[in-house]
Each structure stands twice: as C-alpha cells, then as structure tokens.
Structure 1
Amino acid sequence: MKQQMRLHAQRLFDGQAYHCDQVLVIEGKKIIAIDEDTSQVDKVLSGLVAPGFVDLQVNGGGGVLFNALPTVESLKTIFAAHARYGTTGLMPTVITDDINTMNMAADAVAEGIRLGVPGIMGIHFEGPHISTVKKGAHSQQHIRPITEQEWALFNRQDLGKIIVTLAPEVVPEEQIKALVNLGVKVCIGHSNADGVTTNKAIECGATGFTHLFNAMSPIAAREPGVTGVALTSETTRCGLIVDGHHVDDVNIQLALKAKPKGGIFLVTDAMPPVGTDATEFEFFDRQVKVKAGRLISTTGELAGAAIDMASSVRYCHFNLGIAEDESIRLASQYPKDYLSGSPIQANPKVQLAPGMLANFIQLDEQLVVQSTWVNGNNVFSQETMAKEV
C-alpha cells in the first residue's frame, strides 16, 4: 500500500478560488483528498500553495543549452534549474538546427519520458521551417523546408506532446494540415506572413503563436500581419515573454485585453543562465552575454531570455497590476490548456483537487518560490538549499 502524506497549506489557491488551512493528502503521484483536519500533518507549508507552472518554451537552464548538449542528463539539469522557480512541467525546446541535433534531442526526450524524468512533457521544435526575414537569433544556414527526415521525426509516438513553430509563408497549407493530423501542436512564429496567409494557417489547424510580438510581422494600417491576426483570433492562444525587455508593458496589456481570458500564456524562452550566475554562453558560432537582464548575441539580436517563470508571474502582478490569481493562471492553467487542446473557457478551472496530479508550489508573500512539488515529490526546497549553503 502506498504511503500517504499530509501537507497543511496555510493558504491554498486551487486555480479557481482561495482557501485557508487545507490539508492536501498525497498518495503516490496524486492528491487523493483535501480536508481541514490539521491535527496530524507531516509538514506545514506556510504562505500560499498554488498550481505549479508550465513552461512551453525552454531552451536551457542550469548552464546547459539543450541544442548544444541534447542528452537525458541535460534534461535533468535544465528541469532542476527551472524547478527552483516553480516550474513543474516544461517543453524542452530545440532551436533551428541540423537534423542530427533534432534527432538526438528527440531521443533524449523519449528516453527521459521512459525513465520518468520529472517535468518533461514533450518537445518543442522552434524551427527550422521559419522565415529568414524573421529568424531573429536563429542560424540561417539551418533554415529549410520540411524533408522526409523531419516527417519521420514528427511521426514519432514516444515524444509526449510535440509543438512545431513554423512560418506559414514557407510551409504549404497541406503540410500544416498533415502536421495537425499527426497530433502536432502547430504554432506560428518567426514569420513575416501577411494576414491572409496567417488566417489560412489557422484554418488548416494552427492553434498557437510563438512569443507574441517578437519575430513576427507587425500590425500596419492596411495589413494586420501575424501580430494583428494573433491578437484578434478568438480560438488561438499566444505565448508571451514577460521580462521587461522583449515586449513593452503597454503591448502586454493590449494583448491581455484583446484576447479572451486564457488566450495568453507565459513562456520564458529561457537560456542557459537561468539558475546560474553565468553572464555569457556559447550559442552556435556566436557568444551571448547578459547585459542588464537582456541576452544579447554578438550579432546584435536578443537571443532568448534570462528570466524564470516565477519572475514572470511577479512582473505580471507587481509591475503590471494583474491580479495574483490571474498572474498564476497565466503560468499554470493557460499553457496546460493549450498543450491539452482544451478550448478557451471564460471560467477558471480547479487545478488542485482530489484525483489530480500533485504538481504544486509554495510561494511567500512576494511570490518567491519556497518549494516545488512534482508528482507528489518535493523536488526543490529553499530550506534544503539554505542548509546546504
């Protein structure tokens, strides 16, 4: 018989509402009950217990760039770095690269899932089927059409969820439909498409947009571009980097007002420095340096982000004035809904309840992560970290 664990949450946000003095009863990977009997508990979780964060765009962390070292050990390092900041599930992301790197990354993810490495939900291929005009920091020499080798990769059934970011002006409509029929989540990004082409991609089954406002055709007076379609589409969702550098605060507010609630979710687009004190790292044939919070490539572009999910949530709440519960949903429920294919709903969901996976975090009053729990296991604790120091 599996051993039960009783955790006293002084405050609990279940994804829908706040509660006081609730006891989470954990057995195995799941919450089997929530009660109010605080007389016998294994641990008291002060502050706020909330749903864990889900990050659908993670290039690296803990000093590791997944492209550069696509192994199971890298996945463990990257996840451990992000777990410190409340991420309980993530999509390791492969930036535009050669097919060998893509295959090695896929093999690592498949093996990680087989071994039960915590937090690995699938894989995100950000490219290589993108626009050279809007490539950003991606390497032009690897940008290419979909070949039989990529189709073999996208057909794999051992990778968990698959996201492919592509530019619809360079990927034919029939291929977008084929990807969707395989169960791939197609996101539009790194694209210079016009509004007509973007809308046709949505009609073909594209459901998301990668890092809204960044590396996509902007709104003009007589041309909505990718950005305009992303903002006005009521059925698609947009990932958004909220770090004070990638998108102006006014544009963040615009996106949140334009899209239905649940139509925007946070992503970090995180790079190796997250979870470290590193100030630079190698990126393909270039070097990227951390300058005042920005990651600047030697070729001049922003190259991903140095932010973690908890910092993004704090920025939403404390800098932008978004309600605490909605700031948390932007990092938890909404990305999870996108990945699962759940339709956009007006009413928030309960995320922590009996029968659900025990993926949650403990936050203090400043929304700083004190502990992270994945499948009922405590994978990060500030207390343990302090003792080790």
Structure 2
Amino acid sequence: MMLDSALRVGRLFTGEQFLDDHAVLLSQGRIEDVVPAAQLPSGLPVEDLGPDLLLVPGFVDAQVNGGGGVLFNEAPDLAGAMAIAETHRRFGATAMLPTFITDADAPRARAVVAIRQALAERRPGIAGIHLEGPFLCRARKGAHAADLIRPMSDADVDSLLELGLDTVLLTVAAENATPKQIRRLSDAGIIVSLGHSDASYEIASAAADAGARGITHLFNAMSQFGHRGPGLVGAALDHGALWCGLIADGHHVHAAAARVALRAKKGPARLFLISDAMPPAGAPGDTFTLSGRRVTRKGSRLTLDDGTLAGCDLTMDAAVRHAVSAFDVPLGEALRMASLYPAMFLRLDHDRGRIAPGYCGDLVLLSPKLQVEGVWIAGQGRREPRAPGVSAA
C-alpha cells in the first residue's frame, strides 16, 4: 500500500455513519482507508483539519445551468463548463452535470463536445451532461423557450444514442416521448428524467415502467397532485423507481410540501438535492440573459420579467443547510441527499457519495454552521473558505 497523505479531522461522515477523530488515507487520488487517528501510519504526511470541523463526501449536483457569472447555454464550451465547475467547487460540488436547456441544435452539439473533451482530459468536477429539453411540454415550459420545444422523434433517439458520453441525463415530458423511445434510451444507459410535463399519473407511471429513472425538480413545472388525478407529482412519490431532484432554496418548494414529500416517497429511490443554479450563483450581478430574455435576481429569487421563476442562485452547501433547517432533515440524511443519493441516481455511487476504501478522494470540509471550509477532488485540494460576502440562498 503506497500512501500519499492523510487528512485527520475531529468528525467524519462516511455516507453511512459519523466517526469521531478519524483520518482518511489517500493514495493516487483515491481513498485507501478510513482509520482512527490513533492508528495513523508513522511517517505519513498528515494534514490536521481541526477538532471542530466535519469531513463529508463531496456533493454531486445533477442540475447546474450556470454559476460564477457564466450560463452554459451562452458558453457551451470547455472554458464555460470549467468556469461553472470551479465556482460550484467552492461550495462543495465535487461532481456535477453542466445543464444545457432547450436551445438550437448547434449550441447543443457544442455543449456535448465540450463535456466530451472535459471528460477525456479528466477535468475536475465534470461528471457528464444534463440535457433539459427540448422534448418538453409547452404548457409546463417554465423559463424554457416555447418556440424550440417539440416532441421527441425516433431520429432524435438515434442522435442521442450517438453522443459518446457515459453519463447523460435527459429531461423529457412523459407525454412527448413514447414508452418505446424511453426504453431505447434507458437500455442504452441514458438516464431519463421526467419534467416540464403535464402528464397524467398513468402516462408518467408508464414512462417509469419503460425505464425513466428520475423526476426533474419535483413540484416545479409539472402536473400537480390531486385526489382524483395524482399527476406527475403523484407518480413521482408513488413509483419506487423514480428518484426526485428537489430545489431547496425557499422559493421553488414550500417547506411543508418538501416535508410531506420526504415522508411520502416510496423507495428504494429517494429525494435528492439539486441547485438548478444560474449565473448569479457564487457571483455578484443581478441580471443575465436567458434565451434572449432578461432574468433578474431580487434577494435570492430569480425571475423573468413576467414573474416566472428562472432557476436559482443556490449552491449545494446552502441546499444542505436549508434541508436541515426548513425540511427538518437530520444532518446525515441531508448530506446523503447532497452526495450519495444523487450519485446513486446517476449510477456513480461505485465511485462517489461515500468516504470509503476504493472511492474517489472527493471530500468537503464543513464548519459547525455547515459552511464550506475546504474541498478536495481526487485527493487534490486545500482548506479554502468561501469568499466573504458571496452567498447563496
């Protein structure tokens, strides 16, 4: 066993349990072992992170439109993707899917090429791509451009199967993609998520039975729960195979609705945290352009001029804090919602979401107030407090 270094900390969360006064042994960017501090090998370089801090698995964000002043749709290239990843790294996201929303074919193709390059070059923080649209429902378009929304064709499926990426998350409206199309995509490894959809409970359940794996930002831009028509929300909570992304920013989902959903969700799939972040996340500036329309930040709320919510300035550490304080989620479960559960949804949990032997050395150091104090990706990092005055929700 050739060890590179060790991180010693007062408290550690493995993804399963809390441990006091332990150390993480690192070797070539991966976790070799987790041991009590008293059992640290002699002669090994050890960084003592302090007795009052908490070391946790790196956060995994499946939906990141932008950050640091950059919108992926406006900068669908390697530099744009990496600027977003570097911003969200400061807030604990060690793996993320840059999210490209409904747009023209040419910039969408450039976005795919950029992510393919990032993965080939092993750029830190990039785990794949999220394509949100254009196969959505116009009635539930949210901030997406209505004129570019369309049903999925078999030719679209053929094109998606040729993207050449291991991790592709695709948001579709259940009524705009057939079960046969969803099955083809799912069988090929594409992760299909249902969202921006007015589908009935029955149509959504059929899509899940055909292989759809998730729900994009639960409650938002979808048919709601009713006692005679449970809608997509009802299918999301009642179907055990559907993982549900949840925006914990205090604007997109009422705390009571989140608490009810957490109690109601049928397993084994679970609710997990996403940022749905836009350019203002981790950056100054209160306006930006989305598909030619102005978006304004007032407080921590982002809206189009007509009042439509248009993403968030949320970061994953802030989402964890909100889940604990507003949703009454125990800290360990909130941390799982930010790391292990999204990793499971994206089929990355063999490598991410836990502090355990064999896993990637993606780690986040948190203060007692759950503020990020340091971040490591593949064992590389340092204590790196967030810049003062830059905050999310």
TM-score bracket relative to the smaller structure: over 0.9
Question: What is the number of equivalent residue pairs in this alignment?
Answer: 380
CA contact (8 A) 1:162 1:184 kept: yes
Q: Residue 125 of structure 2 corresponds to which residue in structure 1?
A: 119
- C-alpha deviations, 1:87-137, integer Å up to 9, x for none? 110011110111111101000000010111111111111110000000011
Give the letter aligned to residue 255 of structure 2.
Answer: D
Distance (Å, rounded) in 1 between the aligned partners of 2:367 and 2:215? 32
2:375 paired with 1:372: yes
Q: Residue 93 of structure 2 corresponds to which residue in structure 1?
A: 87
How far has the Cα of 1:189 moved from its partner?
0.4
2:27 paired with 1:12: no
2:206 paired with 1:200: yes
Q: Residue 210 of structure 1 corresponds to which residue in structure 2?
A: 216
Structure 2 unmatched ranges of 5 or more: 389-393
SS in structure 2 of the partner of residue 227 of structure 1: helix
SS in structure 2 of the partner of residue 100 of structure 1: helix
Match of 1:317 among 300, 324, 344: 324
Q: Residue 391 of structure 2 corresponds to which residue in structure 1?
A: none
Match of 1:354 among 341, 352, 357: 357
2:366 paired with 1:363: yes
RMSD: 2.1
Moved more, 260-269 or 270-279: 260-269
Q: Residue 105 of structure 1 corresponds to which residue in structure 2?
A: 111
- C-alpha deviations, 1:62-100, integer Å up to 9, x for none? 111001110101111101110111111001111011111
How far has the Cα of 1:29 moved from its partner?
1.4
What is the 5 A alignment of 1:54-93? 54-93=60-99
Moved more, 68-77 or 144-153: 144-153
Structure 1 unmatched ranges of 5 or more: 344-348
Q: Residue 49 of structure 2 corresponds to which residue in structure 1?
A: 45
SS in structure 2 of the partner of residue 169 of structure 1: helix
Q: Residue 229 of structure 2 corresponds to which residue in structure 1?
A: 223
SS in structure 1 of the partner of residue 156 of structure 2: helix
2:304 paired with 1:300: no
Aligned CA distance change for structure 1 residues 44 and 220 (closer, same or farther; 3 Å) = same
SS in structure 1 of the partner of residue 205 of structure 2: helix
Moved more, 232-241 or 50-59: 232-241
CA contact (8 A) 1:83 1:379 kept: no
SS in structure 2 of the partner of residue 303 of structure 1: strand
Q: Residue 25 of structure 2 corresponds to which residue in structure 1?
A: 25
The TM-score, its normalising length taken from structure 1, stands at 0.93
Q: Residue 346 of structure 1 corresponds to which residue in structure 2?
A: none
Distance (Å, rounded) in 1 between the aligned partners of 2:210 and 2:383? 41
How far has the Cα of 1:252 moved from its partner?
0.3
Aligned CA distance change for structure 1 residues 82 and 137 (closer, same or farther; 3 Å) = same
Distance (Å, rounded) in 1 between the aligned partners of 2:124 and 2:237? 34
Q: Residue 236 of structure 1 corresponds to which residue in structure 2?
A: 242
Give the letter aligned to residue 365 of structure 1.
Answer: P
SS in structure 2 of the partner of residue 77 of structure 1: helix
Distance (Å, rounded) in 1 between the aligned partners of 2:268 and 2:367? 26
- C-alpha deviations, 1:225-276, integer Å up to 9, x for none? 1111111112211001010000001100011001147510011110011110
How far has the Cα of 1:150 moved from its partner?
3.5
Distance (Å, rounded) in 1 between the aligned partners of 2:259 and 2:319? 14
Give the letter aligned to residue 43 of structure 1.
Answer: E
How far has the Cα of 1:185 moved from its partner?
0.7
Aligned CA distance change for structure 1 residues 342 and 34 (closer, same or farther; 3 Å) = closer
- C-alpha deviations, 1:319-345, integer Å up to 9, x for none? 3321111111110000000111879xx
2:185 paired with 1:174: no
Aligned CA distance change for structure 1 residues 23 and 341 (closer, same or farther; 3 Å) = closer
Distance (Å, rounded) in 2 between the aligned partners of 1:148 and 1:85? 40
Aligned CA distance change for structure 1 residues 379 and 197 (closer, same or farther; 3 Å) = farther
Moved more, 88-97 or 260-269: 260-269
Give the letter aligned to residue 90 of structure 1.
Answer: M
Q: Residue 274 of structure 2 corresponds to which residue in structure 1?
A: 267
CA contact (8 A) 1:97 1:128 kept: yes
Q: Residue 329 of structure 1 corresponds to which residue in structure 2?
A: 336
The TM-score, its normalising length taken from structure 2, stands at 0.92
Moved more, 229-238 or 134-143: 229-238
Distance (Å, rounded) in 1 between the aligned partners of 2:205 and 2:113? 34
CA contact (8 A) 1:15 1:329 kept: yes
Q: Residue 150 of structure 2 corresponds to which residue in structure 1?
A: 144
CA contact (8 A) 1:262 1:330 kept: no
SS in structure 2 of the partner of residue 357 of structure 1: coil
Distance (Å, rounded) in 2 between the aligned partners of 1:43 and 1:124? 36
Distance (Å, rounded) in 1 between the aligned partners of 2:219 and 2:93? 24
2:343 paired with 1:340: no
CA contact (8 A) 2:8 2:48 kept: yes
Aligned CA distance change for structure 1 residues 153 and 82 (closer, same or farther; 3 Å) = farther
CA contact (8 A) 1:103 1:153 kept: no
2:192 paired with 1:186: yes
Give the letter aligned to residue 355 of structure 1.
Answer: G
